[in-house]
Each structure stands twice: as structure tokens, then as C-alpha cells.
Structure 1
């Protein structure tokens, strides 16, 4: 598939936030999920906490076992004492809320295309006639620096670029610490996973701010459909006042209860591959709320696009041979781009 077929969306893009603010009492059919994919289309357990890891203890090695267990059993955990101030976290949240509350014509100055996804949009995937999610988003590239284009970043609020750059730099530091802990949890050298990603200069990073508007029929749709993340590690800055993230644990959907100023970490497909399935890239989804909108910010920490990602040789045994075929992250992203957010995890051999 070449990029020329990805220059435009198959249908006009509708801003979900505008739909929600129009006062409709029923959602358009394009947003109604099949019964099996609706929030009540499976067992939903009441809100509870996923594992919590203290980053100060990970750095000393004391919590490496806890982190590894969370990755094996859940694929998700929250981190506290991560070094990013509560003041910065609130500033980042408010900046994105301010952007999404701008008039639509101003936001549309940043309208994106499926060629890069960078900018403001309301759909993922290019399948014509697809059932859509109840959300808007803004996607931007952060690393490598050669892909960072601040002219595509919102010019309002005026402090936006400075705030996002500072936050992104801090998240990258947190991810480097996580990669060391994750490597040690597998019994590998602490630099193993970082080196497999291409080292500090090879890392790819991007952000997606998500706006989940109020929804008059939240039992019929989702803010984000069930999926696993294609990349390495995702760091989510959630709205702890309006829970919505659900994680699949066995056959149950667990609604995550975010801790104020904590960050939610989940393992992506590339780490699952490198660990040969020891660490789990788990499906998750986002519910919407009838009375409150939600804004969240996901940071995706990814391997260098042209490096082959395959299970670590140190983790292969006769009893547990390689479960995944070698593939570059660029190759995998093309697959995801064609299939949209519902694209499944890497296929096991």
C-alpha cells in the first residue's frame, strides 16, 4: 500500500463534539456498535484499581518484581512518584481542554488526513462505512526531532507549545526508567529493551489528546473501540474525575479508577513481541458519559520504525519457541492504518 491512497478520508469527517453540543437525544447510526461490542456486551465489573507501582522503588530495584507481575497478569499499571509535578499535569490537561473548547473553524485549521494522522480529527482507519467512535482527537509527532513540526501544533492557548514540549520531555525520561525496569523483570540486561528500540536516539514518540464528549446514549457506543496498542509503551494521563478506561482481564471488563496525578502505563504489541508473550499487550476500550465530557492524553513510546522487532533470543527455549514473526514497526503500523484502531495484536505464528 502506498501513501497516495491515504491522502483523504473516505467520507466527510464529522466533529463529535459539535454533534454532542447540538442537543441531539439519539446518536447517529454510524456510532451505534453491534450488541456484542457495546459497554454492556460482556461482563463489566465495578471500578477497581489496576496494580500501582512506585517509581522511586523501581529505580532502586525494589519494585521490579511488582512491575513485571503487573505486565504478566494485567498489561497495565499505574505509576506514582514518577517525577512529573502535579502542577505540570494540571497545566497539560487545561491546555488541551482549552484547545478542544475553541470554535470548530479554528480547530479545523489543524484538520488531519490519514497520510500522517497529525492534527485534529475524529476518525481512525480508512475503511469506508466503518462504525465510528464517539470521540475527537489531536495527534502530534514528538520524536524523533526530525518529525516534530511545531507549526502543526495548536497556536492556542499561547503557552501550548512550551507546556507540551516540557511534558513530553519528562514523559520520555519516565519511559527510559520503565524500560530498564521492564528489562530487569525479564532477567535481561537493563538496557536490553531500549537498545532493541534503537537506543535513545532511535526512539519514536507521539501524543494523542482525546476528547470524549457527553453522549445521550452511552450504552450504545464507545469513545474508543476495543484494541491493543501497536507500539512499545503507552503513558496515559487520564481524567480522574470522569473514569472511562476499561481493561480486559480474562473475560471481564475492569473499569480503571485513576489515582490523581498518577500515570497509567500499558504494554504495547512491540514489548509483547520482544518478551515473547511474557508481558501482555492487553485489549482496552473507553466508555463515554451522558453528563460529563472527558479529556485524556496518551503518549506513545515506540521503537525506531525500520528495526526488526522479534522475541529476545535469551527468552527462547525448546518449551517456549518464538511466538511471533519478525516485523518492523513501520510494517506493523501500515497494517494498523489499514485496519484502524480495531486492528488486533501481532498475529502469533
Structure 2
């Protein structure tokens, strides 16, 4: 099998630009995932984010997780658990309105660092969306404009820790799913692995790499690209040793954003729209109930509703 795609973003600024853009295109078309290095976020700053995230888990969340495990008797399970993930999480919202200042238990330094980290990730997400536009032949800013809706995109970070698990064959760290939203930027532990994606019917490890950001595409980009780029099933395998840190930042459309295949892509391919048209908030409501099921029925459900829905157009200004 070909190796997992790793993109050196510094090469976008020189003679290697064309080859690097081709690597991004191939990753989007054939993997739905890639890893970026030299992405502009300082390694020292990422070390601080990691250190404070792990400290916060140890001080504020580890004991709670152990109590939950004991209460549910998870250490003694004998058969596969299909309704629970072996993870300890909390969610930070950045856009349209940040909730970082209201989150309990966060040390002031951690609050400040996560605000800055979110600002840098937002910038990187928008840069990546423009690179996707370039590869797709869409006007610069098209994806950002679609995601913006009437106010701003939805952007937030799921902070997760995956503690050592005594029965990783019976309990998944995170069950297999595709992401509902737009583009996901993941800062993952470089010492404890666990993330896998489904490629050609095989589960493939997403390699932990120091100071990299893993990028994956969500369902909305599959719809907008009319299936040219696809969201991919992925999961987290729990480990018997070590706690794996994961900060997944989701740059998603606004709640009122209207999502449908980009007309330029439909015309170019001379195909009818393969995907439905819907309001992102409606998709999310549906997704929450069927997250760990196949994605195709989600698209079909909205195709069937499409004719009766009264949907507006994406703003062109």
C-alpha cells in the first residue's frame, strides 16, 4: 500500500508548488486524509498546547474518567461494547461566539493558549480551503463563502484523551464514523497511536508525527465537490499503555449555510447533482442520531426531502 500522504507546506512557496498541489489533490481524491508539516504554527507553541492539555486532563478529568469506568464496570466486560467510547472529552467553541472564558476548571494560561491556538488553526483551515478551491478549479474563497452563511462558520475544538484500556478488543476509543462537517484539523499525540482510517476495505494507521496537523474532509466537502472528494470512515483504537491526546478542531459551515454541489463542478463533469441540497443545521440534527452508521443513507434522506424544502441560494457577494 502507498504511504500515508504527508504534505510539506513550505514547498508551496517555491519550485515544488505544482508537485505539492498534486499531492494534496491525490490525498483528497484517494484518502480523504493527509498530514501537514511546516504549516506555520510554531513547534514550541504546539509543545505548550500539548503540555497544558495533558496537565488539565491529569488535574481535572482523569479521576472522573476512572469513576465512570468503575461505575459502569467496564474493566470486567466480556463482550463487545457498541454504545460507548473509551474517551474523556470536552468541547471548546470558537466561532461564531467563543465559550472559552466560561469553561470551568481551565487554568488561565490554558485558556489564553487555547484562544491563540484556535486563531492560528482558523487561519490554517481557511488557507487549506483555498488550496482545495485551487485544485478543484473553484474561485478563491468559494468554500469559505459557502461555509460563512449569514454570520460566520461554526468552529470548535473537541479536546479528547484516550486513557489506557484493559479491553481494547472489546471497547473502541472512538467508534467508526465519518465527520459531518467541513474540514477537520487534528493535533494528535506523537507518542501514543490509535487513529485509523478505512482505505480500500482495510484499516490503515494515521501515523503519529511530532508537530504535524492531520487534516480530514467531512461530509459537507463531499457534497460541495459532488463526490470528487469523499469523507472517510475513521476510528480510534484504544491502547493498553499510555494516554493518547487528541485535539480535533472542526471548521464547519454556519448553521444556516445552504450546502449543495458547486455548480461549476457539476457543469464541468456534465453530470446531474449526485448530492442533495440542505441547510447545514438540519443535516447536523439528523447526523447526531446516525453518526456511527453509513453516510450514504444520510444523503439519500435529504435527497428525498429536497423537493419539498424551501431553500435559499448561497450569497455571491
TM-score by length of 2: 0.82
Aligned residue number for residue 283 of structure 2: 332
Distance 2:36 2:259 in 1: 26
Whether 1:82 aligns to 2:36 is no
Query: 2:102 matched to which residue of 1?
Result: 152
- What CA distance in whole angstroms lies between the structure 2 residues aligned with 1:294 and 1:192? 36
Aligned position for 1:286: 236
Structure 1 residue 143, shift from structure 2 partner: 0.6
Query: Could you say which structure has the higher helix fraction?
Result: 2
Give the C-alpha shift of residue 243 in structure 1.
1.0
User: Hey, what does 1:55 align to over in structure 2?
Assistant: 9
Task: Kindly provide the CA deviation profile for residues 134-168 of structure 1, in whole angstroms up to 9, marking residues without a partner as x.
Answer: 111111211113xx223432443331110000000
* Counterpart residue number, 2:313: none
Q: Which residue of 1 aligns with 2:92?
A: 140
Partner Cα separation in structure 2 for residue 342 and residue 92 of structure 1: 33
2:77 aligned with 1:96, yes or no?
Answer: no
Give the Cα separation in 1 of the matches to 2:150 and 2:215. 19
Question: After superposition, where does 1:13-28 map in structure 2 within 5 Å?
Answer: none
Equivalent residues in 2 for 1:235-314 (5 A)? 235-314=185-264
Measured in 1, the distance between the counterparts of 2:274 and 2:4 equals 27
Structure 1 length-normalised TM: 0.75
SS at match of 2:108: coil
Residues 96-147 of structure 1 show CA distances to partners (whole Å, capped at 9, x for unaligned) of 2112112559979xxxxxxxxxxxxxxxxxxxx96211111111211113xx
TM-aligned CA deviation for residue 59 of structure 1: 5.7
Q: Aligned in 2, Cα 1:285/1:130: closer, same or farther, shift over 3 Å?
A: closer
Q: Which residue of 2 aligns with 1:72?
A: 29
Question: For structure 2, which runs of at least 5 residues remain unmatched after alignment?
Answer: 66-80, 304-317
Q: 1:347 aligns with which of 290, 295, 299?
A: 299
1:295 Cα deviation from its structure 2 partner: 1.1
Ranges in structure 1 where 5+ consecutive residues have no aligned partner: 1-44, 109-128
Contact 1:194/1:200 (CA < 8 Å) preserved in 2? no
CA change 1:194–1:341 in 2 (3 A) is same
Q: How many residues align?
A: 281
* Conservation of the 8 A alpha-carbon contact between 2:101 and 2:111: no
1:183 and 1:254 map into 2 onto residues whose CA distance is 27
The equivalences for 1:313-328 within 5 A come to 313-317=263-267, 319-328=270-279
Tell me how far apart the structure 1 counterparts of residues 163 and 131 of structure 2 sit (CA, whole Å): 36
